[in-house]
Amino acid sequence: MPAKYTLVLRKDMRKGAAVDSKLFYANAKAAGTCGMYELCDLISLSSTASPGDVRLILDSLIEVMKRSLGKGEVVQVGELGNFQLQFGSTGTTTKKEFNQALIKSKRIVFRPGKMLRDAISNYSFEKIPDPSDKEEGKGEEGGGGDRPEIE
């Protein structure tokens, strides 16, 4: 099933573009959600583990990751990828003025493993029809295709 996208008009970010110029860009759209129960069911279908066993392992993974990230470690989850804590802070003019309350923007960064990165190179894409295109007579008949419509 192809990944879905819509077109959005945004500022032209090309070098030398006019200040007020805009271009259409692809914007990924989610086609739904695969929740925890469905994920556990799907994983259990390709293993000897029950959905409950899978859920227990994933819950334990989260607990271990919280502890490891809190210690400043990069958590490597095999071919899935790596998770790492990152944060920013408000600056001070001297080292003495700085305290940990100035640390903001805490987030966990995920870097996918090679198998996930390689998988997306084989995806196909399908444009979600925009109702306003048909109203103005700009719409296309049929749907999608393997190539995005913007270049």
Give the residue-averaged pLDDT of 65-87: 96
Residue partners of 36: CB distance under 8 A and separation at least 6? 55, 58
Angle of CA points 66, 67, 72, to nearest 5°: 95
Residue partners of 148: CB distance under 8 A and separation at least 6? 5, 26, 125, 127
Give the global pTM.
Answer: 0.70
Cα–Cα distance measured from residue 94 to residue 102, given in angstroms and rounded to the nearest whole number: 13
Q: Are 25 and 7 in contact (CB under 8 A)?
A: yes
- b/e 88-111 (16+ beta carbons within 10 angstroms → b): eeeeeeeeeeeeeeeeeeeeeeee
Q: Supply the pLDDT for residue 42.
A: 97
Label residue 2 by pLDDT band (50, 70, 90).
confident
| Closest by Cα among 89, 80, 85, 63 to 117 | 80
Angle of CA points 70, 84, 80, to nearest 5°: 120
**Mind listing the pLDDT tens digit for each residue in 11-33?**
998 998 898 999 999 999 998 89
Give the residue-averaged pLDDT of 96-114: 95
The residue among 68 and 136 whose pLDDT is bigger is 68
Distances (CA, A) of 55 to 29, 32, 37, 58, 138: 27, 21, 8, 5, 48
The residue among 140 and 56 whose pLDDT is bigger is 56
Q: Supply the pLDDT for residue 57.
A: 96
**β-bridge pairing 75-77 and 81-89:** antiparallel
Give the residue-averaged pLDDT of 57-61: 97
Pick from 24-28, 72-76, 139-143: least confident: 139-143
